[in-house]
């Protein structure tokens, strides 16, 4: 199987389990790209993720930049197509089904059951990215916990968390 087809299939499978968006499948993406296939190493994976998050645009950029790093423009096209097309087709089908079943008593609980799955996937993604970085330890976990509590329990803008993280980063880099 060609590399481009492997990239397409890898990202297509990831897209079908991406409940909560592309970031929710980061642990599995890391496992596929770094551990199983060896296309990237830990540091490159973390750097590409940071690059995708820093760039304006959707979180799907993470798949695009990883595909680009693996196989240039063709890899970028296959990773992007793989992440978008299967999920879009599935969402279209589920939306039509949901619309037809909108009065069913089990529909709301079923949709509510997806929330903890998405939260768990996002937490797992955070742990994988923390382990892949060179700064994994107690302090980042404390910062994440404090940031989460701040955003959850106050009415202040989450931008204050970003500002606090920037200040903390400057202090620690001295």
What is the rounded average pLDDT for all residues in the chain? 86
Res 3: pLDDT: 95
137 or 61: which leads in pLDDT: 61
| Residue boundaries of the structural domains of the chain | 2-100, 113-172
CA angle, corner 53, sides to 39 and 128, nearest 5? Answer: 55
Q: Which residues have a Cβ under 8 Å from the Cβ of 66 and sit 6 or more positions away?
A: 29, 33, 40, 45, 48, 79
pTM: 0.67
8's enclosing H/E stretch is helix 3-16
| Residue appearing with tokens 């063709």 | 74
Write the CA distances from 108 to 95, 103, 119, integer angstroms.
14, 9, 18
Q: Which residues have a Cβ under 8 Å from the Cβ of 80 and sit 6 or more positions away?
A: 11, 60, 63, 64, 67
Residues 106-118 pLDDT 10s: 888 888 887 888 7
Residues 86-96 pLDDT 10s: 988 988 998 89
């Amino acid at each position: 199987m060609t590399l481009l087809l492997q990239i397409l299939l890898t990202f297509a499978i990831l897209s079908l389990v991406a409940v909560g968006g592309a970031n929710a499948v980061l642990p599995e993406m890391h496992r596929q790209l770094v551990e199983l296939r060896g296309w990237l190493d830990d540091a490159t994976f973390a750097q590409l993720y940071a690059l995708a998050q820093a760039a304006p645009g959707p979180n799907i950029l993470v798949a695009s930049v990883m595909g680009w790093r693996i196989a240039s423009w063709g890899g970028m096209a296959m990773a992007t197509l793989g992440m978008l097309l299967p999920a879009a087709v599935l969402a279209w089908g589920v939306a039509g089904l949901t619309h037809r079943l909108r009065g069913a008593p089990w529909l709301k609980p079923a949709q509510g059951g997806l929330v903890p799955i998405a939260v768990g996937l996002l937490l797992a993604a955070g742990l994988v990215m923390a382990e892949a970085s060179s700064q994994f330890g107690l302090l980042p976990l404390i910062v994440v916990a404090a940031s989460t509590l701040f955003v959850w329990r106050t009415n202040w803008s989450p931008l204050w968390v970003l500002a606090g993280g920037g200040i903390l980063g400057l202090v620690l880099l001295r």
